[in-house]
């Protein structure tokens, strides 16, 4: 049998790049087969080098809420390119994007732009340590906050998919400063604050977890984090790299009414270009150099192309504010219909959804934290993934990821997805 072009390219890629990829989640190791090489994308669709077309539910892992190659975003990038690609000096676009983001988030007074979500969380942690003079940090199992040393402990999908417990290369003395607790456990949190309270610089959390699959906070969980951190002088950091501008125009903090001290952003605010940002109260942010002593810098921070893509994206999102309801509702309908298909086939699933994010767990346990997420049947997910891919539906090549629905996904796209799902289910067996 002749090899597909993706197979041919992957053979070359494996010789040149570790695992043939530049980010582990792109490899198909847990689901089998080889990654598709993507040639181009438009709207809800991506096209591989073999000319196959897929309805895309990965959306570059979050940024593409408007769908791929949105004409207005493309045009903004084109215009920016003509004026040069990087100056290493301030631009009007940076203050414009900062103003938009600050206006959308009640807890933000100042922000700093960086080039990735990883940089945002890493820098926010440094700032928290610098402001409080404390060294320990606390995170939750299954939450991913980028790949900085202190944060790569029990860090969700990428690592869970590969079965790596933490990561070699992270010094033990750093890992020891990171305390991890089960997500959604108020009791465990109370105990930890009693024990470590005075040593903790910050608590960092994905307010809706997206990196062990989608897991919403149970009532009272985030409220308790806010209350106890405030009492103990610990900074609360919301990592809204996925949830920022995904669930509403603003963050999950706008919906739950809880204000963190610092917020991390990325993905959507860059409109598909490399961007991150972190921000918070003025008094905290002014600890950063050049005003304060905490150092943080970046050659490409606030890059003009990225600012242009981010601004165009937020322009569209703010002008269509009401449409988040439509998007979220459409996603809810898709999830409900998928749920019915699996139920009819007697295959136990739990579908967790927040706005336009969802995860289908092959499990008969409710998924509320990393432990319960891990109980899901990953072999069955691999079968499902493969069946869907063959039928032109591109899901994440891992059982512990969110699916991302965009404004470009039409009713017809969702219908096609459902019929592919029905066909795939016929090839799967019932029971657990």
Ligand X SMILES: *Cc1c(COP(=O)(O)O)cnc(C)c1O
Dihedral angle, C-alpha 258, 263, 267, 273, nearest 10 °: 150
Residue 145 interacting with ligand X (CB under 6 A)? yes
The residue (of 31 and 205) whose beta carbon lies closer to ligand X is 205
Residue 301 interacting with ligand X (CB under 6 A)? no
Residue 59 interacting with ligand X (CB under 6 A)? no
Q: Among residue numbers 199 through 218, which ones bind ligand X (CB under 6 A)?
A: 206, 210-211
Residue 239 interacting with ligand X (CB under 6 A)? yes
Residue 241 interacting with ligand X (CB under 6 A)? yes
Contacts of 270 (CB under 8 A, 6+ apart): 63, 276, 306, 309, 310, 313
Q: How far is the CB of 313 from ligand X (least distance, A)?
A: 15
How many helices (H) and strands (E) the chain has is answered by: 15, 14
Task: Give the span between the Cα atoms of 237 and 185, in whole angstroms.
Answer: 17
Task: Give the span between the Cα atoms of 321 and 319, in whole angstroms.
Answer: 6
Q: Among residue numbers 105 through 124, which ones bind ligand X (CB under 6 A)?
A: 116-118, 121
Whether 267 is catalytic: yes
Q: Which residue is nearest to ligand X (CB)?
A: 117
Contacts of 157 (CB under 8 A, 6+ apart): 25, 144, 211, 212, 213, 398, 400, 401
Q: How far is the CB of 267 from ligand X (least distance, A)?
A: 6
Residue 251 interacting with ligand X (CB under 6 A)? no
The residue (of 94 and 239) whose beta carbon lies closer to ligand X is 239
Which part of the chain contacts ligand X (CB under 6 A), choosing from 74-82, 141-149, 347-355, 365-373?
141-149
Whether 295 is catalytic: no
Task: Give the span between the Cα atoms of 400 and 423, in whole angstroms.
Answer: 23
Rg from Cα positions in the chain: 21
Among 54, 57, 105, 144, binds ligand X (CB under 6 A): 144
Q: Among residue numbers 89 through 108, which ones bind ligand X (CB under 6 A)?
A: none
Whether 110 is catalytic: no
Q: How far is the CB of 239 from ligand X (least distance, A)?
A: 5
Q: To 5 degrees, how large is the angle CA 245–CA 295–CA 176?
A: 80
Residue 261 interacting with ligand X (CB under 6 A)? no
Considering only CA atoms, which of 112, 33, 424 is closest in space to residue 292?
A: 112
Task: Give the span between the Cα atoms of 75 and 356, in whole angstroms.
Answer: 26
Catalytic residue among 48, 57, 154, 239: 239
Which residues carry out catalysis?
144, 239, 267
Residues that bind ligand X (CB under 6 A): 116-118, 121, 144-146, 206, 210-211, 239, 241-242, 266, 276
């Amino acid at each position: 049998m002749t090899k597909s072009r993706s197979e041919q390219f992957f053979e070359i890629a494996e010789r040149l790049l570790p695992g043939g990829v530049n980010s582990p989640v792109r490899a198909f190791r847990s689901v089998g087969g080889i990654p598709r090489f993507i040639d181009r994308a438009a709207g809800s669709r991506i096209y591989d080098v073999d000319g196959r077309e897929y309805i895309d539910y990965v959306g570059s892992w979050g940024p593409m809420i408007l769908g791929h190659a949105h004409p207005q975003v493309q045009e903004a990038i084109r215009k920016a390119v003509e004026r040069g690609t990087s100056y290493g000096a301030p631009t009007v676009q940076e203050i414009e994007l900062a103003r938009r983001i600050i206006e959308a988030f009640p807890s933000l007074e100042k922000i700093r732009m960086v080039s990735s979500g990883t940089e945002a969380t890493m820098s926010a942690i440094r700032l928290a340590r610098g402001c409080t003079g404390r060294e320990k940090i606390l995170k939750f199992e299954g939450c991913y906050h980028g790949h900085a040393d202190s944060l790569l402990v029990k860090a969700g999908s990428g690592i869970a998919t590969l079965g790596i417990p933490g990561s070699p290369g992270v010094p033990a003395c750093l890992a020891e400063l990171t305390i991890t607790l089960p997500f959604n456990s108020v009791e465990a949190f109370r105990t930890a604050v009693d024990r470590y309270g005075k040593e903790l610089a910050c608590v960092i959390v994905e307010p809706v977890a997206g990196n062990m699959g989608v897991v919403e906070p149970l009532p009272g969980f985030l409220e308790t984090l806010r209350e106890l951190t405030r009492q103990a002088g610990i900074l609360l950091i919301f990592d809204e790299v996925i949830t920022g501008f995904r669930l509403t125009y603003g963050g999950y903090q706008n919906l739950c009414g809880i204000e963190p001290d610092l917020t991390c952003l990325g993905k959507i605010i860059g409109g598909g270009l490399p961007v991150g940002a972190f921000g918070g109260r003025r008094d905290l942010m002014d600890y950063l150099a050049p005003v304060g002593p905490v150092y943080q810098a970046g050659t490409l921070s606030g890059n003009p192309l990225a600012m242009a893509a981010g601004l165009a994206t937020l322009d569209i999102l703010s002008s269509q504010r009401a449409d988040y309801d439509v998007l979220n509702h459409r996603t809810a309908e898709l999830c409900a219909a998928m749920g019915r298909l699996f139920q009819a086939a007697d295959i136990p699933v739990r579908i967790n959804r927040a706005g336009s994010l969802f995860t289908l767990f092959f499990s008969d346990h409710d998924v509320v934290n990393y432990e319960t997420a891990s109980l899901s049947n990953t072999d069955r997910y691999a079968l499902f993934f493969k069946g869907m891919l063959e039928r032109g539906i591109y899901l994440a090549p891992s059982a512990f990821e969110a699916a991302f629905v965009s404004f470009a996904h039409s009713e017809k796209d969702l219908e096609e997805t459902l019929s592919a799902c029905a066909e795939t289910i016929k090839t799967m067996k019932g029971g657990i």
